[in-house]
Structure 1
């Protein structure tokens, strides 16, 4: 009888430790430093840093706004050349989305105010879609889009911007229809391609890539990794995404073994560099995000800031 009692107490103790760590881990920031090679990378971009964050999920109970705020302050201090935000700013806007949108705006506005060019795509939660079969709320997405643009965050939906030398303002395709002119002016750009949200069927990778001159250096951003598969070969030497939260709960030393692996219908590309996926010549990195879904916990899967150092490749 004593043996059973001690066994139960031990199990309860282990469960308590796991629960406590799961509640603590969302406040621990993991900065992943990666080197990313881009063919024909302009000399002005050699060695420059690009920061990637994703999945704020503001509006979920016990949402992780304090960690988001700390990460934004960290990026302002580190001053990367550009910051990319891969969607899902809000989680559950309810009848009045203003509160959640305003929270997101008050945090993100610090980046462009600090002079850091900031770009974003929208995710499924930004359309109030908790499942791929839900009806997208286009009005909500449009409201968030306009609010982000109003504070200097450029939202890309199957669009391209040509970014000149780091610290320069990005040039929208409507402003510069002649990339050759930009090149001869000594300002060879890096093209940033932003793909629309996958679940609302707003992702059009080929349309997004169309304005990019053949052979020009580019970086492709999306929310859902499933959009990556539709990119033609050799069009995305560096692509980035979020959406998965890295699985949120993972067994130690087994990054592919998460609760998402067993509960999601679609193939889950958990986090980091995804091997054997997509077309040849394309490479995808998936960020673990900051917030969470369903349960306000993370286990063996802390919030991630990814810092890419850009290098040219042959």
Structure 2
């Protein structure tokens, strides 16, 4: 049954979209279409947890997401991004979905693997499905590209990463909109205790992930709202990114799950970004076990 929209909520949305239309007129339109989408924000965050082994102290992770190649994001931009990623000298790379906007219609798909192959990460490159990776019969296209590029594509499964006899686990689940995410299946055979990082394109699945002892979830999908209006916030919140759409959240009260929602790199539906710059994120793990 469709969710009933209150009069107050309707008026707020109407005013918000009217404000957006006004803000995007003239100079605002030019800024949101041609300037902000190219203003890459490289954010740095430290992740501390007593479950992180000492051997992983200061280990560096890069997350990038939602390139949407073919919709106002091109291969030249991807190549520039890869150069920036390699300068960071990350240990692990995570791509959290939506590589191409329409996989079966993107004529330059065959050029993507050779670019992504250039990304360097001694402990592994991991990827998951986003809704656009499944859309347009793109599931097999995306799988072929990522595997040829040297990424481990996680589909309701996990991988152990080992350093000096210690380990953590990376877990990847399917997309929530067009796939079949199964966290229970994905965490099978993980030895406890273990520091667990979940890759889920859809951030709102964090509420369910908390019960599986996940310490960190990395997501995308929301584009940070893509267009934000002062005092009203994000205007574009897709399904499964309605509760959590940007930055850090703590899920649960005891031993909470830390969720981070990356704003992504490209745009979708509308070729605009306003107060929601494209983002690449660097996480540095910090062992907080007191040893």
TM over 0.5: yes
Cα distance change of structure 1 residues 268 and 150 upon mapping to structure 2, 3 Å threshold: same
- CA contact under 8 A between 1:90 and 1:125: conserved in structure 2? yes
Q: Which has the larger radius of gyration?
A: 1
Give 2:102's match in structure 1, choosing from 92, 101, 116.
92
The answer on 1:118 being equivalent to 2:125 is yes
- 1:199 pairs with 2:177: yes
What displacement does 1:214 show?
A: 1.7
State the distance in 1 between where 2:141 and 2:240 align: 30
Change (3 A) 1:13 1:160: closer
- State the 1:12 CA deviation: 8.6
**Alpha-carbon offset, residue 280 of structure 1:** 5.8
**C-alpha displacement of 1:278:** 9.6
Q: Deviations over 1:55-99 (max 9, x none)?
A: 010122x324433322211111111111100000111134x55x3
Distance across 2 between alignment mates of 1:106 and 1:224? 27
User: Aligned partners of 2:189, 2:92: CA distance in 1, in Å?
Assistant: 21
Count of aligned pairs between the two proteins: 268
* Residue of structure 1 in register with 2:116 after alignment: 108
Is 2:123–2:161's contact at 8 Å kept on the other side of the alignment?
no
The alignment partner of 1:260 has SS state of coil
Q: 1:212 to 1:264 in 2, by over 3 A?
A: closer
User: For 1:260, which of 236, 241, 245 is the aligned residue?
Assistant: 236
Structure 1, unaligned runs of 5 or more: 1-10, 130-136, 166-185
Q: How does 1:292-307 map to 2 (within 5 A)?
A: 292-307=267-282
Equivalent residue number for residue 13 of structure 2: none
Aligned equivalents of 1:141 and 1:277: distance in 2? 33
Q: Give the TM-score normalised by the residue count of structure 1.
A: 0.77
Shift of 1:281: 1.9
Distance across 2 between alignment mates of 1:305 and 1:230: 26
TM-score w.r.t. length of structure 2: 0.83
Which structure 2 residues correspond to residues 1-314 of structure 1 after superposition, within 5 A?
A: 15-22=25-32, 23-60=34-71, 62-94=72-104, 96=105, 99-112=107-120, 117-128=124-135, 137=137, 140-165=138-163, 186-233=164-211, 235-252=213-230, 257-261=233-237, 267-275=242-250, 281-314=256-289
